[in-house]
Structure 1
Amino acid sequence: ARHLLRDKYTTAEVGITGGNFLIAKEGGVAVTENEGNARLSATFPQLHIAVVGIEKVIPQLTDLDLFWPLLSTSGTGQQVTVYNTVYFGPRQPDEPDGPAEMVVILLDNGRTNLLARPDRREALRCIRCGACLNVCPVYKNIGGHTYETTYSGPIGSVISPHLSGLKEHQHLSFASSLCGACTSVCPVRINLHNLLLLNRQESVAEGHNALTEKVARINRFGNCGS
């Protein structure tokens, strides 16, 4: 696999990566990984395209002293991941390697919907460590693919209805025991189980509650309306 992938990297014209953090003051894209594939994607091709969500912005380079160890410890239990790189742009005239051109695409995709709501915007603090997934009893039993969304687990259930539509994803907020384990392990202190409750409240208020819930209510209380 290593030899096969290396050939693809060396012959590719365009490399696409994500970014763990965007550094506002110095203008850099910070990428942390254990495999090194992102580094190959960013340096071998002549064009490096970084696609990064707008919520990934941190003030300055020195803030990585906090965020990189926080991400690695919460995500994989490491003190720091193996490869940590900050890209500040294409190669300079005096540099022997690197891409000739670098493009950074700032991704919204509904994130401003959360940003505009003071009671929900804390979800944008997520650093994608996955700690909430590891402790969630629902995620442990059904797995990530069952969510059928880009982001799974508790944080996915919180943000997906706002990124992709409440009507289509309202059921995710009900796929939780509300045990609070996700909130207790979150390294950036997102009150996840409370945000799930707010999503449920909004879903019911807009009439998006699931058919199964309506049937259960009728069975328990009688036909008192929807």
Structure 2
Amino acid sequence: MTVHSRRGVQTRRSILTERLPASGNTALAASALIQATLGVEFTFAGLDKFADPNFTANFETFVRASPGTDNGVLSPIIRLLVLPNVAIAATLLKFTELGLGLVLLLGAAEVARRRFSGRLGAQHGYEAPVALVAALAGFAAAGLALSIFLLEGGVLPAIVSGRAFTSAIPVELLIVPFGVAVGWIELGRFLVLRKPPNASLIETEL
């Protein structure tokens, strides 16, 4: 075996076995858990809408009864675009939520896979595009949740005695920072993963 070949083997081994510091692995594993939770939430939300035979009518009723339809930053958009095209908006919402959920689950699985050592956690060429799509899904999930929060009136958390046994923060508002965090992490992964692998490894494999 030549010196150049030995270097290639060593490079391959380092890529297959080297991992982030324990703190980095723990943080990314936690982010994968959050991302998977968001993925499950949006996947089931989309499936629930597909399972509702009267979803379009129910969606229109929900939009018309929401405080944000008459007042708020989204009111002009809802009145000019959503209500006149309620069937299209309802269909788009169903596919968007389901699509976001599946992409987030895929991204979470990929982040979790990279936490392992050996061949299971080895880097692959498809990771950068997957990370980019997952980042866009995270930001889109945050934007969608924020839109629903504003449509429902956008009531910020406050100290209320009647909420002693309910969530202090609306679920839609709670999803917003989680979605932004997932998008931020996945965008960072994309910026790192898009860099070409070690040239010596490419030359050895070729």
Sort the TM-score into its range (normalised by shorter chain). under 0.3
**Radius of gyration: which is bigger?**
2
Structure 2 length normalisation: TM-score?
A: 0.26
Q: Which structure is richer in relative contact order (CA contacts within 8 A, separation 6 or more)?
A: 2
Structure 1 length normalisation: TM-score?
A: 0.24
